Every structure is written in C-alpha cells, then in structure tokens.
C-alpha cells in the first residue's frame, strides 16, 4: 500500500542529528492495559488509562484508572479505580493548583453501540473524588482540558443516537471553577472527534481529529457563539497538533496515505486569528522528509511538535518539528511501536506505554 523511498543524503543527515538517551528511571504501569492521557505538573506525573480485565469480561466492559507517580523516583503514590458502570473510560486529565480534573465516559459499549455519559470528576491531590459534574450523553473521547483564569474549557462529541452511524457534532463546554456554572455551545453539523482546544484573546478554538474536504474544520467560540473556519483540501487529513502564537493558529496535519494514493505528506495551515482567514499553507511530502510512517500521538511545546516517525530505512525516531516543518531535534527510539504517549520536560523524555513508564535523559 505504501511506496518506500530511499534518500541517502537525508538519512545521513538524520543519523548525524540523532542523539542517544540514558534511561535513568523505569516503572511498571499498575492496572492499565491502555494509556489514554499523561499529565506532568511540577514533581507529579498523572496517568489515565483503562483495563479490560473486568468482572463482566465481554471485551467491551472496562475499568478506568488514574495513577499518580512521583516525578523524581517514578514511585506510585496512589491509584484510583473508576468502575461505576460496565464501561468506564478516562480520557483527559489535568491539574490546576490543588485539584485534579478528569473527564470520564461511563455506560455500556457493544460492537454496534456506545451508550455513554460524560462526567467531570474533581479530585483532591490524594485521589479522592470531591465532586462529579454531569456533562451529558457522549460518544467518543473528549479533547484536552484547558484552563483560562477561573474557567475550564473542553469539547466532546454529542451523538443523535447510540449506534455508530448516528450523526455526531461538537459541544464546546466551559465550567467556572468558582461559581460552578456550566455552559455549553453545540455545533450544527456532523463533526469528527475533537482533537485539541486552544484559546487566545480572540476566543476559543477547537480542532477536530480530521480535516475533511468541503467541511468546516476549525470552530471558533466567542461570546457563546460558534463560527466556522474552512481549510481547503481534497483529501482527508489527520490533525497531529495545533498551537497559537502571535495571532497565528498553526494546524499540523498529515495525509498518511490510503489504498490507491500512497503519496503521504505533512501539511501546515496558518490561520490569522483576527479574521479567521488562512494566511498560507505549507506541504512537505514524506519522500522529501525521508519518512515512511508517522505516529499519531504527539507532544506539543506550544510552538513545535514532538512525534514518532518511521523513516524509509525502517528506523523509528523521536523528532521535534518547528512551525515550518523543519527537524530541530532527533532522538533514538528504543521501544517497539509508535502508539506510546510521549512528553518532554526540558532534557527529559517521558514515555508512557501499556506496560511501563520510562524517563530518559538526552
């Protein structure tokens, strides 16, 4: 399905840039089979994930877990199990001052339906649930949690039914941490899973997981009203990252190649947040970058993106791309797949997988 390219000069350049890592901490991930989110806050690492090892044991039921690890030693401080319903899925976790905020979907899942309800758990730093805020019927996972002053923002996917063919749309939610007031604005058209929510002085921006042809791809929410931003493409692209700097919203996408069209590329859209117009687009074919495949789990610095790539020589690497698609750092990859969660804190690479968490210096 994919065409492999070999570019000796570029591979030599990659090899010269590649930096070794020193594994200095490693710890088994307790209870989890899949990692959904990782949050670093000062000397604490919070990890959210699920396990299908449940009493029901039907392949769909799941327990959700939230683990707290010490950043300096990777010692497990505590682990909390969420198991009120047959299916329990923790998707996003974030800390603000002395509280943890966790988005959890709960209900039932079958091979043809997802009957889930989304809630916001407010927890102490010891893992105790203080409050459970009901959000509403949900479908797939919500996006990240974003704090802005006294407000917490996120978005999730609302469905008209519980089967996989149901029309689904975005809901952008704001929760005031002081007044506990919850507000929600829903989009009118069919929408993909939300990928990332951002904010600047001009409003709240939401990017979905995919860029679809002939459809609004970015939503802007201001004063309780939604406006649409269209990114012109004739292919379905996957969103890797997005960030806002100097009134420019940068959206990082890939066309990963499909049957009949293996010509994969990396693409950057640059949007003016004053008028919501696309200023420019940069497209970089995988063959020019020396890539064969890109992992969809990334880590954003706010102005650049860490990701995992498989090059045309079959070597996996961690790379850091600036806002123009230029490789500015490359690290050796020492694991066995491209689905792990990654974070970077200064000169430390934090890796969370189903079986362990690892810290490496570079």
User: Of the ranges 53-57, 135-139, 260-264, which one carries the lowest mean pLDDT score?
Assistant: 260-264
Q: H helices then E strands: how many in the chain?
A: 2, 31
Please give the average per-residue pLDDT across 140-157, as a whole number. Answer: 96
Question: Which residues face 307 on adjacent strands?
Answer: 319
CB 176 within 8 A of CB 155: no
Residue ranges, CATH 2.120.10.10, the chain: 32-303
pLDDT tens across 69-128, in order?
999 999 999 999 999 999 999 999 999 999 999 999 999 999 999 999 999 999 999 999
Dihedral (CA of 243, 248, 254, 255) sign: positive
**How confident is the model at residue 9, as a pLDDT?**
35
Structure-model confidence comparison of residues 198 and 3, the more confident one: 198
Q: Is the pLDDT reported for residue 14 higher than 60?
A: no
Give Cβ neighbours of residue 232 (< 8 Å, ≥ 6 apart). 278, 281
Q: Is the pLDDT reported for residue 303 higher than 90?
A: yes
pLDDT tens across 304-352, in order?
999 999 999 999 999 999 999 999 999 988 766 666 899 999 889 999 9
pLDDT tens across 234-275, in order?
999 999 999 999 999 999 999 998 887 889 999 999 999 999
**How many CB atoms are closer than 10 A to CB 106?**
22
CB 194 within 8 A of CB 221: no
Q: Is the pLDDT reported for residue 149 higher than 80?
A: yes
**How confident is the model at residue 288, as a pLDDT?**
96
Place 4 in a pLDDT band, splitting at 50, 70 and 90.
very low
Is pTM, for the whole model, over 0.85?
yes
Pick the CATH number of 32-303 from 1.10.3470.10, 3.20.20.10, 3.50.50.60, 2.120.10.10: 2.120.10.10
**How confident is the model at residue 338, as a pLDDT?**
64
Q: Are strands 18-19 and 327-332 parallel, antiparallel or unpaired?
A: parallel
**How confident is the model at residue 353, as a pLDDT?**
86
**How confident is the model at residue 216, as a pLDDT?**
87
d(CA 112, CA 141): 17
Place 22 in a pLDDT band, splitting at 50, 70 and 90.
low
């Amino acid at each position: 399905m994919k065409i492999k390219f070999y570019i000796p000069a570029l591979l030599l350049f990659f090899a010269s840039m590649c930096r070794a890592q020193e594994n200095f901490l490693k710890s088994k991930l307790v209870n989890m089979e899949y990692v959904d989110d990782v949050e670093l806050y000062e000397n604490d690492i919070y990890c959210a994930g699920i396990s299908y090892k449940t009493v029901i044991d039907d392949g769909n039921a799941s327990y959700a877990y939230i683990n707290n690890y010490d950043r300096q030693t990777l010692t497990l401080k505590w682990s909390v199990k969420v198991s009120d319903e047959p299916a329990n899925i923790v998707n996003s976790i974030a800390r603000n001052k002395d509280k943890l905020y966790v988005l959890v979907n709960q209900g039932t899942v079958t091979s043809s339906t997802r009957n889930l309800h989304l809630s916001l758990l407010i927890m102490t730093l010891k893992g105790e649930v203080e409050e459970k805020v009901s959000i509403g019927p949900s479908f797939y996972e919500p996006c990240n949690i974003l704090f802005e002053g006294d407000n917490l923002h996120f978005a999730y996917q609302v469905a008209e039914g519980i089967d996989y063919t149901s029309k689904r749309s975005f809901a952008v939610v704001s929760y005031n941490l002081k007044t506990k007031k919850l507000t929600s604005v829903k989009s009118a058209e069919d929408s993909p899973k939300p990928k990332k929510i951002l904010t600047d002085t001009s409003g709240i921006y939401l990017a979905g997981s995919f860029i679809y042809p002939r459809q609004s791809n970015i939503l802007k929410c201001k004063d309780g009203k939604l406006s649409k931003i269209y990114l012109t493409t004739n292919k379905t692209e996957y969103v890797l990252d997005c960030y806002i700097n100097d009134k420019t919203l940068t959206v990082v996408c890939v066309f990963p190649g499909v049957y009949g069209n293996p010509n994969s590329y990396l693409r950057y859209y640059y949007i003016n947040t004053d008028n919501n117009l696309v200023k420019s687009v940069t497209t970089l074919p995988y063959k020019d970058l020396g890539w064969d495949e890109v992992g969809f789990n990334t880590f954003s610095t706010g102005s650049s993106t860490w990701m995992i790539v498989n090059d045309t020589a079959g070597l996996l690497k961690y790379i850091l791309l600036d806002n123009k698609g230029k490789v500015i750092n490359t690290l050796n990859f020492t694991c066995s797949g491209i689905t792990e969660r990654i974070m970077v804190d200064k000169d430390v690479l934090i890796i969370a997988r189903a079986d362990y968490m690892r810290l490496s210096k570079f």
